[in-house]
Structure formats: C-alpha cells, structure tokens
Amino acid sequence: GTAASLSSVTVGAREIRHYNMMKIAILMLVGLVGLSTALPKDHFLSEARINHINSLNTTWKAGRNFGPHVTQKYIRGLLGVLPDAHKFRLPEVAPHIALADDAIPETFDAREAWPECRTLKEVRDQGGCGSCWAVAAVTTMSDRICIASQGKVQVSLSAEDLVSCCRICGMGCNGGYPAMAWQYFKNWGLVTGGYLPDKKEGCLDYSVEPCEHHTAGPRGTCDEGPTPKCTKKCKAEYGKSFKQDLYHAKSAYSVSSDPKAIQKEIMTNGPVEVAFSVYDDFVDYKSAYSV
C-alpha cells in the first residue's frame, strides 16, 4: 500500500472552507458526542422550543431541521462518537508550519488550495448507521493522501472496511472512537471503496444505503441497522487482492484545540477530523447572525 503522513485532531472540521464558517462546517461533517437538556421541558423539536430559543436573542437562530415527531432515540443514533472517546486521545504535536498567528488569512478554502484533489468536494452519507466517526475519518484520510502525494494518488478509502473491521474502534454502527480509527489506519491500513449506489469504486464499497435523514425524498427512511459484517476480501471485479489494496498512515497524532493551531494544521496538511459535545438545542440550529 501507499503511505502518507496523516493526522487526527480533537477539534476542527473535516474541511473548514472559511474560518468564520467553522461551526457550520463542523455541523455538517463530523461525529457528535452526547445529548443533554439545557432548556425548558418542551419537546426538543417542538415549535415552542424553537420559539423560546429565538426569544433569547442569542448569537444564532433556531429553526426546524427535523420533523416534530422524530424521536430522541433517532437523534441519539446520530451521535456516533462514544462518550469516553477522550480516553483515547492521540499524542499531540505542534503544527508543522512557520506562520505567525497574525499572518493567518481570514479565509482559507481547501478546495481552492488543492483543486486537483476530487475528494475535497465529496460529502458522504453514512445512512442509518452511527458511523460518523468512521465516515469523517476516511474522507479526511482520502483528502490527505491526495494532498501529501501532490495529487498523484487519488483514492477514496473504504468506510465499510473501517466501521466493520476495526475492533479497537468501538461498536461499529453503534458508535466509535475517532482517534482509534487513525491508529487503525496506521497499524493495519485501509482499502479503497465507493460510498454511493452509483459510485462504486475500489475494493470494498459502503453497503449502508443513503437515506432521507430529515427530509421527504426518493430515498428510504434512515432506519437503524446492524453493523456490516467484516469482509477482508475485495469484490471480484476489482482486480486486486485485499492486501494489495491497503493504504497506511506513517503517523497518527492530534493537535491542540486552539483554533490557530487547527488553522495552521489545515493549511499545511489538509482537512482534520473533530468530535465535540452538544446540548439538545443543537438539533434546532439553523443559522448564525452576522456580526
């Protein structure tokens, strides 16, 4: 397999397209931890709850993202990083960039910095599986392989391989540890794989079907399903063995939760993976007010 110097971080986002949009990027692209009550006891998706939040005149606006009858069990299923993930934090290193804090640009778009890397433009659907810890990891890994190789190696790593075969990572579709995903990538490696029914590429495709998470549409509902069975074998038509297709990281590390350290890391090595804790009003987040 091909090796690249890659990382895991504890705070950041898979791709921060603009630094002042960090919260929105995090909302869309990472695994979440925990759900706790912070507001009055209206149903957490009710109009009364949304109106109450907006009456507080905070820095953000609440709105409807999920139907009013969505259960808390379903929402908890979206929180795929296990609560004790902090126990598995990787060694912390300083960003490898000689850049003064005041020289960090106001905006930075990874897609523009590395336009040759197609995976930077992809957003994967984890389906009815609590695999955000794995999906966010493999998309970040794929981006960084391209960046480290200066565009010479363009692959999509397999979320199926990681979520189904990594025993040290947690509980598959029932949650996992992002740091252990990176450790697994370093120690055992990952194969390639597609992530959509019409985008099957590589050794081992993601078998969990995409679904309608909180909207009406042509795809099925996001019903919870079992973790896919671990298969250490590429599909017959791929033409490579599982072992031949493995990619490994040279190292697995974290960076400081300081935003400037994260910005420097992204500018140097590309997207990062993050997990963070949320309160129950997070599911009603719609937009931020301009400042």
pLDDT-derived band of residue 290, with 50, 70 and 90 as boundaries? Answer: low
Amino acid at 113: A
Rounded CA-CA distance 5/252 in Å is 8
DSSP label at 221? Answer: B
Residue 219 is predicted with a pLDDT of 81
Mean pLDDT score, 219-229: 84
Residue 65 is predicted with a pLDDT of 87
pLDDT-derived band of residue 150, with 50, 70 and 90 as boundaries? Answer: very high
Do residues 179 and 85 make contact, with C-beta atoms less than 8 angstroms apart?
yes
Rounded CA-CA distance 218/287 in Å is 26
| Position with higher pLDDT, 107 vs 14 | 107
Residue 289 is predicted with a pLDDT of 77
pLDDT-derived band of residue 19, with 50, 70 and 90 as boundaries? Answer: very low
Rounded CA-CA distance 167/177 in Å is 11
Task: Count CB-CB contacts under 10 A for residue 34.
Answer: 16
pLDDT-derived band of residue 134, with 50, 70 and 90 as boundaries? Answer: very high
Query: Could you tell me the two tokens for 60?
Result: 């953000």
Rounded CA-CA distance 182/254 in Å is 10
Q: How many domains does the chain have?
A: 1
pLDDT, tens only, 48-85? 999 999 999 999 999 998 887 778 877 877 788 887 77
Residue % of the chain over a pLDDT of 70: 83
pLDDT-derived band of residue 41, with 50, 70 and 90 as boundaries? Answer: low
Angle in degrees, CA 119, 274, 215, rounded to 5:
70
pLDDT tops 50 at residue 12: no
126: Cα separation from own chain's centroid: 10
pLDDT tops 50 at residue 18: no
pLDDT, tens only, 85-114? 778 889 998 777 778 888 899 999 999 999
Amino acid at 192: T
Residue 2 is predicted with a pLDDT of 34
Give one DSSP letter per residue of the chain, joined into a string: --EE-----SSS-S--SSGGGHHHHHHHHSEEE-----S-SS-TTSHHHHHHHHHT--SEEE--SS-TT--HHHHHHT--B-TTGGGGPPPB---S----GGGS-S---HHHHSTT-GGGG------SSB-HHHHHHHHHHHHHHHHHTTTS----B-HHHHHHH-GGGB-TTB-B-HHHHHHHHHHT-B-B---BTTB--SSS---SPP-BSSS-SSSPB----PPPPP--S--GGG-S-TGGG-BEES---B--S-HHHHHHHHHHH-----EEE--GGGGGEEEEPP-
Q: Which domain holds residue 71?
A: 3-288
Q: Which of 257, 276, 222, 227 is nearest to 79 (CA)?
A: 276
Its pTM stands at 0.81
pLDDT tops 70 at residue 21: no
Task: Count CB-CB contacts under 10 A for residue 42.
Answer: 13
Rounded CA-CA distance 181/190 in Å is 10
Rounded CA-CA distance 170/148 in Å is 28
Mean pLDDT score, 153-162: 97
Do residues 50 and 213 make contact, with C-beta atoms less than 8 angstroms apart?
no
pLDDT-derived band of residue 191, with 50, 70 and 90 as boundaries? Answer: very high
Residue 75 is predicted with a pLDDT of 80
Residue 14's domain is classified under what CATH number?
A: 3.90.70.10
